[in-house]
Amino acid sequence: MTEAPPVKARGLVKRYDEVVAVDHIDLNVQVGDVYGFLGPNGAGKTTTLRMALGLIMPTEGTVELFGRDPLREGARALEGVAGFVEAPRFYPYLTGRKNLELLAALDGDGANERIDEVLQIVELSPRGGHRVGGYSHGMRQRLGIAAALLRKPRLLILDEPATGLDPAGMRDMRLLIRRLADEGITVLLSSHQLPEVQELCDRVAIVDRGRVVYEGALADLRRQGGAGYRLRSTDDTRALAIARAQAGVEHVIGTPPTPHGLSFQADEQHVGALSLALGAAGVGILALTPELATLEDLFFRLTETNGAAGSEQAGADGREDPTERLAQAS
């Protein structure tokens, strides 16, 4: 028998009076995913996670965790599920260990016996006896993950775990999440830290103004973004003008002089024609390398389309086709 998916949402809507915070969102998190849930601030990510965990009621639609609806089944639906929405909160005047002991008493099922283990996993063993009020932001985030791990989750839901961290903290958080995923935990990661998501996640959903504009494999999204190239030449100023005038060469970006050269999109035939045009103009090619579009490039293409363009691309039911949107943005 096939196991029910960790998260399955269909047609989720949340309205607050006249404001539509979440607009018919579908999500499909599969076992083993490191699933990135991306969007600008205010796009509806946290509201969606709150509905998924049964913390607020959807206006319309359904969500199931391993086939269980939190609204119908209550706490039973959260078996095997842990994490935090927004920032984890603890008693600041108690130690990290004492906070975990209080949570373990609520969880039961031998959770108290796992305190040493989870502190070691998140690398807080030396600070477990210190008051949480003296912890850095990154340490409190890691303590939040330790608290979630007390439940031995199969699904870990993390809402912006790297927000506010310095580069070292972000690296440590990334390594921790990767290690947990390698141990078989499915991770649903809400974030707007695009480089982190690009390194961590294999599948993503991008939400904009309460609506999913893409869901699927990150590799597929990057392929849909088209073939990109990076060009460095002996005269990037002239190369920029030639590339912008060349048929079939699009999205030429560069502000010479710069050590990074120019970037553009084109198919192989037009790349060859551009190479010949540069040679005929006496511009030497120092480097011409293909590169997939970054997640950041694709994210902004999908979320920065203006309202007029969105209206033109909407189908008969008024909802936009995200594949067409990405193709036109490319």
pLDDT digit string, tens, across residues 9-35 = 999 999 999 999 999 999 999 999 999
Model confidence at 1, pLDDT cuts 50, 70, 90, reads low
Question: What values do phi and psi take at 327, rounded to 5?
Answer: -60, -45
CA angle 147, 90, 185 (to 5 degrees): 20
What lies within 8 Å, CB to CB, of 326 at 6+ separation is 214, 221, 224, 225, 298, 301, 302
Q: What is the pTM of this model?
A: 0.74
Instruction: Kindly provide the b/e burial profile for residues 288-326, where b requires at least 16 CB atoms within 10 angstroms of the residue's own CB.
Output: beeeebebebbbebbbebeeeeeeebeeeeeebebeebb
Q: Tell me the CB-side half-sphere exposure of residue 14, using CA atoms within 13 A.
A: 25
Domains and CATH numbers, the chain: 7-216 (3.40.50.300), 227-292 (3.30.70)
Q: For 193-216, what is the mean pLDDT?
A: 90
What lies within 8 Å, CB to CB, of 87 at 6+ separation is 140, 141, 144
DSSP letter (8 states) at residue 315: -
Does 227 have pLDDT greater than 70?
A: no
- The mean pLDDT value of the chain amounts to 86
> Which carries the bigger pLDDT value, residue 282 or residue 197?
282
Does 146 have pLDDT greater than 90?
A: yes
pLDDT digit string, tens, across residues 269-281 = 999 999 999 999 9
